[in-house]
């Protein structure tokens, strides 16, 4: 056991990475380490990295440079780096050669080996590199040091088989592996007993859940099982691939009372030519039909999406198709990204890359339009009553508390510690593009 020893984990990227960091923290706590917010007090600092876009990588290298000072002050400090970036040869080489203060490099497939890797370093003080090229089935269930007491992530499927031509994820997270239904339901029950009110099921494509299992279990059936878990109040899931968003899933969202009224359905582009070249497996018309069906059949449901602008070969006409789609579908929210060349992916090898300036200009046009739509939609909520799960102080102002509506909108309320973890009714009094404000009734 490591007594009076402290750790800090710096996480980049998506919810999967944040959840992996909770599991890294869980293992460190089992080893006797305690969390500290102060890097200067830490005996172990881990970076959990992201490689989805170039700027994510640049941030990691910047942080690694900063960490050198802590190693100078404390030569016993262990600095480790893991996550998606470390599943690629080039960044591993660069870290190993140029950042000599890094003691440990590990990948996404062997996070469960962290305790052994740390013990090895503690005993030998050698630098350790352990990155597996391939996944060995599912990463086993691991202890988690959860960020929130009231909402929790549950990983239901690891990896991705889709190979969208711009995306690095299948190369760094491996093939799809579904977790057995019993293990997911057991975790949900344990979390609910511990006071968790809301769970978010995680996977790169949750709709593929079960395809690799022998049994007759599908994602909609998994939702039925989870809806039965007592004390649980809300179930969210992300991400859904539009191609696999079935009518059976839509019916269950309508039918199951605990399912949140929010669907994140990344479209990426409104142009059929671009969608085909992205290997997304659906057309613009199909996508529009799916979203309209959701909006018509689930009253009040919020739909959000992701866009990539400046995919290789994207013409002004293609981009206009995206703009038209946004106008037609009135999304509640959208994450908009500039296409980033990821080495090893088919799109990165194309010689018709879009100029940076053009990409930036398209991004701005798209963001301006979506912000206006989100603003108008949120303004219509003023005067309505919404249920929010109060999570605690907001990031920017500890005197203001926040929670999320079933439709996944952030809502600010007055500070009230007693409400943390409660689902309360709020009268909405103000609204911006990304947030609401209200008073608890």
Residues that bind ligand SF4 (CB under 6 A): 160, 162-164, 167, 169-170, 204-205, 241
Q: Which does 14 bind (CB under 5 to 8 A by kind): ligand SAM, ligand SF4, none?
A: ligand SAM
Closer to ligand SF4 by CB, 53 or 233: give it.
53
3-state SS class at 291:
helix
Stretch that binds ligand SAM, among 75-83, 165-173, 396-404, 426-434 (CB under 6 A): 165-173
Q: Which is nearer to ligand SF4, 176 or 437 (CB)?
A: 176
Given ligand SF4, ligand SAM, none, residue 170, with its beta carbon under 5 to 8 Å by kind, binds ligand SF4
Q: How far apart are CA 37 and CA 144, in angstroms?
A: 18
411 is in an annotated binding site: no
Q: d(Cα 244, Cα 232) in Å, to the nearest integer?
A: 26
Report 56-115 residues binding ligand SAM (CB under 6 A). Answer: none
Q: Are 405 and 387 in contact (CB under 8 A)?
A: yes
Between CA 35 and CA 42, with CA 38 as vertex, the angle to 5 degrees is 60
Closest by alpha carbon to 300, among 405, 182, 208?
A: 405
Kindly give the residue spans of alpha helices, DSSP state H, lying in 74-204: 89-98, 114-124, 169-173, 181-193
Taking contact as CB under 6 A, which single stretch among the options 77-85, 132-140, 164-172, 216-224 is the one that binds ligand SAM? 164-172
Tell me: is residue 160 an annotated ligand-binding position: yes
Smallest gap from Cβ 345 to ligand SF4, in A, equals 9
Q: Is residue 159 part of the contact set for ligand SAM (CB under 6 A)?
A: no
Residue with smaller CB distance to ligand SF4, 268 or 405: 268
For residue 310, which of 345, 347, 272 has the smallest C-alpha distance?
347
CB of 239 to ligand SAM, least distance (A): 4
Interface with ligand SAM in residues 245-274 (CB under 6 A):
266, 268
Query: Residue 353 or residue 433: which is nearer to ligand SAM going by CB?
Result: 353
Q: 7 contacts which partner out of ligand SF4, ligand SAM, none, CB within 5 to 8 A by kind?
A: none
Angle (CA) 28 30 34, round 5°: 55
């709709």: which residue's tokens? Answer: 207
Q: Does 342 bind ligand SAM (CB under 6 A)?
A: yes
Q: Which is nearer to ligand SF4, 162 or 252 (CB)?
A: 162
Q: How far apart are CA 390 and CA 421, in angstroms?
A: 5
With CB under 6 A as the contact rule, the residue among 308, 381, 413, 428 that binds ligand SAM is 308
Encoding tokens for residue 309?
């602008």
Structural contact between residues 330 and 302, judged by C-beta atoms closer than 8 angstroms: no
Answer for the pair 158, 203: CB distance below 8 angstroms, yes or no. Answer: yes
204 belongs to the binding site for ligand SAM (CB under 6 A) = yes
**What is the C-alpha to C-alpha distance for residues 16 and 31, in angstroms, rounded to an integer?**
23
- Nearest alpha carbon to residue 342 among 48, 55, 34, 27: 55
Minimum CB separation of residue 440 from ligand SAM in Å reads: 34
**Under rule CB under 6 A, residue 53 binds ligand SAM:** yes
**Which tokens belong to 117?**
């890797």
Asked if residue 130 binds ligand SAM (CB under 6 A), the reply is: no
Which member of 27, 154, 167, 188 binds ligand SAM (CB under 6 A)?
Answer: 167
CA distance linking residue 243 with residue 290, whole number of Å: 9
User: Least distance to ligand SAM from the beta carbon of 182, Å?
Assistant: 25
Choose between 7 and 337: whose C-beta lies nearer to ligand SAM.
337
Distances (CA, A) of 145 to 35, 77, 149: 10, 22, 10
DSSP 382: T
Order of strands, edge to edge, in the sheet holding 333-338? Answer: 262-264, 302-309, 333-338
163 binds, among ligand SAM, ligand SF4, none (CB under 5 to 8 A by kind): ligand SF4
Cβ atoms within 10 Å, residue 250: 18
Count CB atoms within 10 A of the CB of residue 26. 16
Stretch that binds ligand SAM, among 2-10, 71-79, 161-169, 350-358 (CB under 6 A): 161-169
User: Any contact of residue 339 with ligand SAM (CB under 6 A)?
Assistant: yes
Q: Catalog residues that contact ligand SAM under the rule CB under 6 A.
A: 14, 52-53, 166-167, 169, 204-205, 239, 241, 266, 268, 306, 308, 337, 339-340, 342
- Binding residues for [4Fe-4S] cluster, by number, are 14, 50, 84, 160, 164, 167
Binding residues: 14, 50, 84, 160, 164, 167
């Amino acid at each position: 056991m490591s007594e009076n020893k402290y750790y800090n984990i710096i996480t980049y990227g998506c919810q999967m990475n944040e959840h992996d960091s909770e599991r890294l923290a869980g293992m460190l706590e089992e080893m006797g380490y305690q969390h500290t917010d102060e890097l200067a007090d830490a005996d172990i600092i881990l970076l959990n990295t992201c490689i989805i876009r170039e700027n994510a990588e640049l941030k990691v290298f910047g942080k690694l440079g900063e960490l050198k000072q802590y190693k100078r002050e404390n030569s016993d400090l262990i600095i480790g780096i893991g996550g998606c970036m470390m599943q690629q040869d080039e960044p591993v080489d660069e870290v190993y050669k140029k950042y000599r203060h890094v003691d440990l490099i590990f990948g996404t497939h062997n996070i469960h080996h962290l305790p052994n890797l740390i013990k090895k370093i503690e005993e030998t003080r050698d630098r350790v590199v352990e990155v597996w090229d391939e996944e060995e089935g599912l990463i086993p269930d691991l202890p988690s040091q959860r960020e929130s007491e009231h909402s929790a992530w549950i990983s239901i499927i690891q990896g991705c088989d889709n190979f969208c031509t711009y995306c690095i994820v299948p190369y760094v997270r491996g093939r799809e592996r579904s977790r057995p239904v019993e293990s997911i339901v057991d975790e949900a029950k344990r979390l609910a007993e511990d006071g968790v009110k809301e769970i978010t099921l995680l996977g790169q494509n949750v709709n593929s859940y079960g395809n690799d299992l022998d049994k007759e279990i599908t994602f909609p059936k998994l939702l039925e099982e989870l809806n039965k878990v007592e004390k649980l109040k809300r179930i969210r899931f992300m991400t859904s691939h539009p191609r696999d968003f079935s009518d059976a899933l839509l019916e269950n969202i309508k039918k199951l009372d605990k399912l949140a009224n929010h669907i994140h359905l990344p479209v990426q582009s409104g142009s059929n030519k671009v969608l085909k070249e992205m290997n997304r497996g659906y057309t613009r018309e199909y996508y529009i039909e799916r979203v309209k069906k959701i909006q018509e059949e689930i009253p009040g449901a919020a739909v959000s999406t992701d866009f990539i602008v400046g995919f290789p070969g994207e013409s002004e006409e293609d981009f206009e198709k995206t703009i038209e789609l946004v106008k037609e579908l009135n999304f509640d929210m959208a994450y908009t990204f500039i296409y980033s060349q990821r080495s090893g992916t088919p799109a990165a090898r194309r010689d018709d890359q879009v100029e940076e300036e053009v990409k930036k200009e398209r991004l701005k046009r798209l963001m301006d339009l979506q912000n206006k739509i989100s603003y108008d939609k949120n303004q219509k909520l003023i005067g309505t009553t919404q249920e929010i799960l109060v999570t605690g102080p907001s990031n920017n102002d500890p005197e203001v508390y926040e929670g999320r509506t079933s439709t996944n909108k952030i809502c600010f309320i007055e500070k009230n510690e007693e409400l943390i973890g409660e689902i309360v009714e709020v009268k909405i009094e103000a609204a911006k593009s990304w947030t609401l404000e209200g008073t608890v009734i």
